[in-house]
């Protein structure tokens, strides 16, 4: 894919396709905190700070992880279209909201991530009850390799003591967050039963909460309006497959790269027929995050706790239209 093609109508359509795929990435509370700008043959990914969760995410870590997921989707879509994108991350210190610049290179050998393109539309956050079937060790190794390919570490939580510590700390973090009125108000603002809303977490994709979920590892209570469609019992158990994404780089660049790793793991798991849900309360509360790191003996910093298994599909979350996400400027 050459620069001249990028400036042609066909090239513009291709880059719009790349942005659409990027926008299907997961994001904290489905805030979709990103914008894109096309200038000549460059596509820029920018943070949308108006969508940052100030109570849950005051540092912007979750926002940058979310944007990293979108960046990986853009890389996959570009690779599937036959282009090798040169990616500059945080290219301008004077403009910290410019997270990445992708410049299309002439046709290059096929990238292995191109094979994940079909999984982008199938990937979803699944908060249902998972089956009792385990995840084979060879699949966990494939997911670990996906994390390593993006410069991150995926730690399998298998020891009984580690599982108990993770469950206890997750319960403490969940209780601490729910006791914060600002957190609860923010959660209500980003959950919705409006079928026309294009962001936020829809009632159709969350369990109804009545206190009988029987969770060792609490799934976040998105049923703030009492209209959750999914079954109440989720049985999120410390005996299930639990993987912890960590990185040694505790910086905005490290968080962005961790998002790329998360999405590579997620698309790989989807490609293998597995569902994921994120249990992030334990890493959102500073105290429990540090305790978890110490309890598990991690050298890196814990970022995302993943529950992996098999479960029925859930309704998909809406995405904002391209007209809200993409601006084009002359090259």
Lowest mean pLDDT among 11-25, 227-241, 314-328: 227-241
Say what the pLDDT of residue 329 is.
Answer: 77
Mean pLDDT of the chain: 87
CB atoms within 10 A of CB 1: 21
pLDDT tens profile 120-150? 999 998 777 788 788 999 999 999 999 999 9
Query: Would you say residue 322 has pLDDT above 80?
Result: yes
CB atoms within 10 A of CB 171: 17
CB of 201 within 8 A of CB of 220?
no
Count Cα neighbours of 236 within 13 Å in the Cβ-side half-sphere: 29
11 pLDDT band, cuts 50/70/90, is low
pLDDT tens profile 69-92? 999 999 999 999 888 778 999 999
Q: Which CATH superfamily is domain 137-309 in?
A: NADH Oxidase (3.40.109.10)
Q: Single out the residue of 206, 235, 221 nearest to residue 316, CA to CA.
A: 206
Q: How far is CA 64 from CA 33, 40, 41, 48, 155, in A?
A: 9, 25, 24, 10, 21
Secondary structure tally for the chain: helices H, strands E: 11, 11
Judged by DSSP in three states, 24 sits in: coil
Q: Single out the residue of 79, 111, 142 nearest to residue 273, CA to CA.
A: 142
CA separation for the pair 53, 293 (Å, rounded): 24
3-121+321-329 and 137-309 share one fold: yes
Cβ-based neighbours of 143, under 8 Å, separated by 6 or more = 154, 243, 265, 268, 269, 308
The mean pLDDT value for 175-199 works out to: 90
Top-confidence residue, 170 or 109 = 170
Crossing angle of the two packed helices 252-271 and 61-80, in degrees rounded to 10? 50
Kindly report the CA angle at 231 between 226 and 235, in degrees rounded to 5?
A: 110
Say what the pLDDT of residue 330 is.
Answer: 66
CA separation for the pair 67, 57 (Å, rounded): 14
CA separation for the pair 33, 71 (Å, rounded): 12
The mean pLDDT value for 185-207 works out to: 82
What CATH class is the domain 3-121+321-329? alpha beta
Say what the pLDDT of residue 210 is.
Answer: 54
Q: Single out the residue of 111, 100, 216, 112 nearest to residue 168, CA to CA.
A: 216
Strand partners, 302: 246
pLDDT tens profile 294-316? 999 999 999 999 999 998 888 78
Say what the pLDDT of residue 314 is.
Answer: 84
The mean pLDDT value for 5-27 works out to: 75
Say what the pLDDT of residue 232 is.
Answer: 56
pLDDT tens profile 49-62? 999 999 999 999 99
The mean pLDDT value for 89-118 works out to: 89
Judged by DSSP in three states, 119 sits in: helix
**Every domain of the chain and the residues it spans:** 3-121+321-329, 137-309
- Percent of the chain predicted with pLDDT > 90: 66
DSSP 230: B
pLDDT tens profile 198-239? 998 877 766 546 565 567 777 677 655 655 545 455 566 677
């Amino acid at each position: 894919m050459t620069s001249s093609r990028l400036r042609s109508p066909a090239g513009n359509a291709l880059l719009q396709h790349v942005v659409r795929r990027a926008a299907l990435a997961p994001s904290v509370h489905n805030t979709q905190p990103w914008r894109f700008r096309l200038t000549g043959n460059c596509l820029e990914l920018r943070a949308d700070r108006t969508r940052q969760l100030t109570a849950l995410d005051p540092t912007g870590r979750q926002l940058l992880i979310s944007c990293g997921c979108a960046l990986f989707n853009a890389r996959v879509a570009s690779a599937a279209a036959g282009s090798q994108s040169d990616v500059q991350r945080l290219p301008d210190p004077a403009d910290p909201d410019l997270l990445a610049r992708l410049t299309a290179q002439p046709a290059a050998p096929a990238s292995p991530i191109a094979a994940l393109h079909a999984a982008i539309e199938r990937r979803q956050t699944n908060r249902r009850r998972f089956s009792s079937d385990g995840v084979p060790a060879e699949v966990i190794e494939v997911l670990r390799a996906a994390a390593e390919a993006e410069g991150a570490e995926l730690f399998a939580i298998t020891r009984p003591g580690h599982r108990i510590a993770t469950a206890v700390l997750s319960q403490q973090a969940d209780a601490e967050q729910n006791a914060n009125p600002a957190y609860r108000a923010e959660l209500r603002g980003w959950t919705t039963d409006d079928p026309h809303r294009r962001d936020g977490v829809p009632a159709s994709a969350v369990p109804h909460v009545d206190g009988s979920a029987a969770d060792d590892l609490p799934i976040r209570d998105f049923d703030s309006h009492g209209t959750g469609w999914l079954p109440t019992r989720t049985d999120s158990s410390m005996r299930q497959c639990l993987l912890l994404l960590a990185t040694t780089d505790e910086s905005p660049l490290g968080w962005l790269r961790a998002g790329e790793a998360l999405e590579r793991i997620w698309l790989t798991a989807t490609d293998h027929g597995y569902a994921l849900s994120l249990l992030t309360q334990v890493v959102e509360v500073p105290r429990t995050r540090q305790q978890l790191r110490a309890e598990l003996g991690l050298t890196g910093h814990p970022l995302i706790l993943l529950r992996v298994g098999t479960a029925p599909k859930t309704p998909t979350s809406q995405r904002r239209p391209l007209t809200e996400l993409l601006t084009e400027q002359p090259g």
